[in-house]
Amino acid sequence: QVQLQESGPGLVKPSETLSLTCTVSGGSISTYYWSWIRQPPGKGLEWIGYIYYSGSTNYNPSLKSRVTISVGPSKNQFSLKLSSVTAADTAVYYCARGELLGYFDYWGQGTLVTASS
Amino acid sequence: QSVLTQPPSASGAPGQRVTISCSGSSSNIGSNYVYWYQQLPGTAPKLLIYRNNQRPSGVPDRFSGSKSGTSASLAISGLRSEDEADYYCAAWDDRLSGPNAVFGGGTKLTVL
C-alpha cells in the first residue's frame, strides 16, 4: 500500500521560504507524477505543481514565479519550496500521487503551514 | 476564485438523492476528464469518481458521475449520514503553459 507523508516546519516567517518534503513508502517514485496541493483554512483545494520522476516539472501559473518542486533529498522523496511567503500562503499542504491528465489516487495526511511572524 | 464552479452547499435527507454540479470551460471540462473527490472533516481528499463516471474499487455504486459539454455532475443516491463531507470536482486545464490541475471551490453536503 502506497503511503505519503509530508514533513517540514509548521511556521514560516513572512518573506521567507517554505520548505516541505514528501516521503513515499510502499512504492517507488519512478513513474507517476508527484504533486503538491494546498488548502487554506476553510477554503478549497489549489494545485501547486507536479514533478515527474525524471525531473520534469509543471507549476500553477499563479505560483510559478515562487515555486520549485524537486526530487530528493533522499530516494523516494520529493520536495516543495515556496519563496517570499505571505499570510495568504497559510494552508494545509498535501502531497499526492497522480498520472498526467489523471487522478490523484494517494494523498498524504497534510501538514499545516502558517506564515506568521 | 476557483476555475471550476460548484454550489457552496447541498443538502438532503437520508435515503434521498442529491446532485452536485460543476461548471467549467472548453479548456478543462470540455476537453478533459472530470474527477470527484470526497473530503471528510479533518482528512485528506479521497478519489470518488475518475474519468467522468468511473468508480474506484471500494466506492459504493450510490455515487455516480456524468459529464456533458463543459459541465459535470455528481449524484449520490440513498443518502447516508456518513456522506456528509465536502465534495470537489477537478479537471486538467490546457490553457497557458498547462496542463494544470484545476479544482472547484467545493460543495459542503449536509445530511439533514
The pLDDT score that the predictor gives to residue A74 is: 87
What nine digits make up the cell of A1?
Answer: 500500500
Percentage of chain A exceeding pLDDT 90 = 87
Query: Residue A85, CB half-sphere, CA atoms under 13 Å: how many?
Result: 21
Residues 6+ apart with CB under 8 A from B57: none
Full strand arrangement of the beta sheet holding A18-25 = A3-7, A18-25, A77-82, A67-71
Mean pLDDT along residues A32-47: 96
What nine digits make up the cell of B42?
Answer: 479533518
Give pLDDT tens digits for B53-95.
Answer: 999 999 999 999 999 999 999 999 999 999 999 999 999 998 8
Residues belonging to chain A: 117
Cβ atoms A71, A55 nearer than 8 A: yes
Least Cα distance to A36 among A9, A2, A70 occurs for A70
Asked whether the predicted pLDDT for residue B104 surpasses 90, the reply is yes
Task: List CB contacts (< 8 A) between B105 and chain A.
Answer: 43-44
Instruction: Using DSSP bridges, classify how beta strands A18-25 and A11-12 pair: parallel, antiparallel or unpaired.
Output: unpaired
Check if B47 contacts A (Cβ < 8 Å). yes
What nine digits make up the cell of B50?
Answer: 475518475
Cβ atoms B65, B53 nearer than 8 A: yes
Check if B98 contacts A (Cβ < 8 Å). yes
Cα-based torsion angle of the residue sequence B90, B95, B99, B104 in order, rounded to the nearest 10 degrees: -10
The pLDDT score that the predictor gives to residue A72 is: 84
**Cβ <8 Å between B32 and A103:** no
Give pLDDT tens digits for A53-106.
Answer: 888 999 999 999 999 999 988 889 999 999 999 999 999 999 999 988 899 999
Distance to chain B for A83, nearest Cα, Å: 20
Percentage of chain A exceeding pLDDT 70 = 100
The pLDDT score that the predictor gives to residue A75 is: 84
Check if A42 contacts B (Cβ < 8 Å). no
Give pLDDT tens digits for B27-56.
Answer: 999 999 999 999 999 999 999 999 999 999
CA-based nearest residue in chain A for residue B101:
A47
Mutate to test the interface with B, among A104, A109, A111 (most CBs of B within 10 A): A104
Mean pLDDT along residues A24-53: 94
Cβ atoms A10, A113 nearer than 8 A: yes
Cβ atoms A69, A50 nearer than 8 A: yes
The pLDDT score that the predictor gives to residue A2 is: 94
Residues belonging to chain B: 112
Helices within A16-113 (DSSP H only): none
DSSP 8-state class, residue B104: B
The pLDDT score that the predictor gives to residue A53 is: 86
